[in-house]
Amino acid sequence: MLDAPIQISIHDNWDGITAQTLFKDIWQTPKKQLHQWRMEKTVCKNEEIINWLEPLRSGDIITIKINHEQETNVQPNSIPCEILYEDEHLLIVNKPAGLLVHPNHDERNTLANSIAAYLQSKNDQRKVRHIHRLDQNTSGAILYAKHVLSHTILNKMLENRSIQRTYWALADGILTSNGQINKPIGRDRHHPTRRRVSKTGQAAITNYQVLECFPHDQLTFVQCSLATGRTHQIRVHMQALGHPLAGDLLYGGSPRFSRQALHARLLEFTHPFTLERIKVTAPFHDDPPIFDLTRYS
């Protein structure tokens, strides 16, 4: 399984361009990687060594003979793992609240351990890489790359903001209008893990939309989308707005819930190889259910 080739069918949009243009300009393959593949002749078109300057045609099959990097640092652990989307290029997983995304030392109770066990059950021991993270006590959809080329492309897409991430949250207090929070975020020198709004911090932009208000419970159901991806961004920005997330004790939220009421609800992007529009919604699994809105009034 580790030497399984990558296969990509040439889309109509790429008809007539050269392989060199596709790899270098459209997929933005790193020069070192592309040079290695060219020297080793590991890229084929329709089962023949590719001519990099020859025009591609719709329906051509590109094959990259690659030795996938084997996962050696993460021990498999059969923690339940909900797969929301999977193909040979990428993986989207619904992370439960309470799990770290990746072990810091020798932890075995992380999402990475769970995914390693899932892949092992399919006789696949390749190393997958997360494209973005979620805080330990935030739940929802996380995107992973399954090989080096998809990792490069998806990282670029995240940087270019062509991967839309939508979060649902319950904020303390009542917000009455939609808005944008544009405040830089930096480390809090008085606390090892906390972040804060800081003039010298990194640029951070969060757009928020009020979906529903619950005056009796003093809660507002908010949808947030990220134009940047700073650590704790939504949590810090909502605190700065004067409406910290319910359950988020680190940032002044009420102790209403056992964790911050934040869920990565939706991932949406154009698949880099099929050019299909991928739209994945992550269900909730809290018990008791934080996002069961019938609980509030």
Tell me the torsion sign for CA atoms 224, 136, 267, 128.
positive
Residue 135 annotated among the catalytic residues of the structure: yes
| H-only helix segments in the chain | 19-21, 31-40, 111-121, 148-159, 233-240
Report the residue count for the chain: 297
Q: Which amino acid is at 36?
A: Q
Q: What contacts 106, CB < 8 A, 6 or more positions away?
A: none
- Whole-angstrom Cα distance, residue 9 to residue 96? 34
Residue keyed to tokens 């099959």: 61
Query: What is the distance, to the nearest Å, from the Cα of residue 92 to the centroid of all Cα atoms in its chain?
Result: 8
C-alpha to C-alpha distance for 205 and 214, rounded to whole angstroms: 26
Which member of 12, 135, 188, 287 is catalytic?
135
Q: Between helices 148-159 and 31-40, what is the axis angle to 10°?
A: 160
175 vs 125: CA distance, rounded Å: 47
Structure tokens at 19: 């392989």
Q: Point out the residues that are catalytic.
A: 135
